[in-house]
Chains A and B, each alone.
Chain A
Amino acid sequence: MATASETTLVTMHNESGTKWWTRFLDPSERTLAVLLLMPAALLLTLIIVYPVGRLIWTSFQNLSLTSGVPATFAGFENYSLMLDDPVFWETTWNTVLITLITVPGALLVGLALALMANLPFNVKWPVRLSLLIPWALPLSFAGLIFAWFFHSEYGVVNDVLRRIGIEGVIWFNSANWAFAAICLTIIWKTSSFMALIILAGLQTIPRSLYEAADVDGAGRLRQFFEITLPLLKPAIVVALIFRTITALQTFDIPFTMTRGGPGTSTATLAMYIHQNTVDFLDLGYGSALAMVMFVLSMGVTAVYLRMIRTKG
């Protein structure tokens, strides 16, 4: 009965709107949906769709703002130049290496942090804050702070090493140590986000599962591998994919810690794109480099979308 009267009331309301502006203020459901989605669609067109087309186009152009020469079609010239460019290979390799090291690294550290944070603490806010602060800290701040941590003379890392009887190293003078310092910083910065996601997953696992396992006499380790990890899998997969894609874009931390040095030994693909685009104003070459990262990221996203679909 209530539904019937509602419908009549709504219909009456619609019929009473005879002026044109009432129709405008109360459009049909389909028109309304289009109107509501329009701002998002327009913005995404301006900032993503059109630029993607433009990126592909520019990567086949000779377009350097320093030369003053108008853009000319270059075919695959930028791409063949890229394949012969040792810095391209070095920065791409560094990016892949950073991804391969810091993504599993952040996962393991994040898992450990989450398991620790899941203990029944009487006061919860210090633990929550100590996971949130690293997440909220800008990457560039983390880079600067850890550059100071790893300072060879006055840094706290070498000071702690000295106290336990190990001679510190001059971190940023050696390609390998600088790379290690960058990876450690990225793992510290990103593991707290992993921990927050995993912690939320942990808290949805029903206690009764562990109690049943206790009754069955399963040990703690077995419970971890047969209850905790499988049930955490969806949360871990989502966090891993997002982390992988942001790792491929790594820029802020190496830029603020080493500026890619010594030489170009810690430079990433994003830094090389930035250098060619903003410093050298070679937009054609910068676009070809960006296409490589684009393809890498799209590959990861495709895997992600497929995983969500199969999940349900």
Chain B
Amino acid sequence: MSHNATADRSIFSGKPLRILIGLILVVNGMFPALWILFTSLKTEAELTVKPITWLPHAPTIANYLRAFTDQPLLLFLFNSFMVAILSTALTLLISLLAAYALARLQIRGRDLILSAIIAVSTFPLVTLLVPLFEIMRALGLLNTWVALILPYTVLSLPVCTLILVSFFEGIPRDLENSAMIDGCTRIGALFKVVVPLSAPGVFTAGILAFVNAWDEFLLALSFNSNPMLRTLPVGITLYQGEFAFPWPVISAALVVGIVPLAILIVIFQERVVSGLTSGGIKG
């Protein structure tokens, strides 16, 4: 049925009411980030005025300058970025191979393997804090990117594998077969035919893996105590003094951390939604 028909049968059929509901949704989703943006533009003096002001009266970028000088914010960004990119690449590579095997090859115990993957996707990594801490210490990996890249890869591996399996299953086998007749090996066919055709799925999986890695806090806090190796979420907590919370500076740092995510989400919004709702589940 057309949109108008559904609108008519809705209990919220009035247009003003619909706009109001849209507004509620937007305020619920955007207000916290918007409020932090406003705070980041206020002067220290304006912040301690009562009653509080909502929009900044004399917007300033001083807090952003302090955010970059009080702590090595650029370095936090760099660490977060590298850890997220490298773990995403590793996740995609490993899950591509596994998903191809599960989607295309005759495997005994395929259902068992898929169940195991689902079980891993709900596995609480927090409980492995002690053994992972010991392993990373024994391997000399504490205070390195690798200490985070390996667990982050595991964090996204199940979701990405499930997304890719369902994508591969949608690609006709004939295309691969003809590539193999033309002299491709199976692995050649995977990277030359299947991967390009499932690019949307690979992309969706990649975005989810990136967001998972960008957001992680506990392992980054526990494994990398050297301030130079902090990721952004952990680094931002360093702005808090023992008693002082420099809120405008923290807000500025938060805005710096939100912007890359927001860009990613705005550009790829439809892809992210399809990834989340097809195979991808995250808390």
Interface residues of A (CB under 8 A from B): 6, 9-10, 13, 25-26, 29-30, 32-33, 36-37, 39-40, 43-44, 46-48, 50-52, 54-55, 58, 113, 116-117, 119-121, 125-142, 144-146, 148-149, 151, 153-156, 159, 162, 188, 190, 192-193, 196-197, 199-200, 207, 210-211, 214, 220, 238-239, 241-243, 245-249, 251-252, 255-256, 270, 273-274, 277-278, 283, 286-287, 290-291, 293-294, 297, 300-301, 304-305, 308
Contact = CB atoms under 8 A, between A and B. Distances in A.
Majority-rule SS of B interface residues? helix
14 contacts: A36-B98, A36-B105, A37-B113, A113-B25, A119-B21, A120-B7, A137-B258, A140-B233, A140-B236, A155-B52, A193-B282, A211-B1, A248-B124, A277-B133
B22 to A, nearest CB: 6
Interface in B15-52: 18, 21-22, 24-26, 28-30, 32-33, 35-36, 39, 47-48, 50-52
Which of A120, A138, A162: most chain B Cβ within 10 A? A138
Given A43-B154, A127-B22, A159-B51, A297 B222 contact: no
A33 B119 contact: no
Given A119-B21, A120-B6, A136-B265, A44 B130 contact: no
Interface of B: 1, 3-4, 6-7, 9-12, 18, 21-22, 24-26, 28-30, 32-33, 35-36, 39, 47-48, 50-52, 54, 93-95, 97-98, 100-102, 105-107, 113, 115, 118-120, 122-135, 150-151, 153-154, 157, 161, 177, 180-181, 183, 185-187, 211, 214-218, 221-222, 233-234, 236-237, 247, 250-251, 254, 257-258, 261-262, 264-266, 269-270, 272-273, 276-277, 281-283
Contact of B131 (A55, A128, A132): A55
Contacts of A113: 25, 28
Given A6-B177, A138-B217, A145-B254, A290 B128 contact: yes
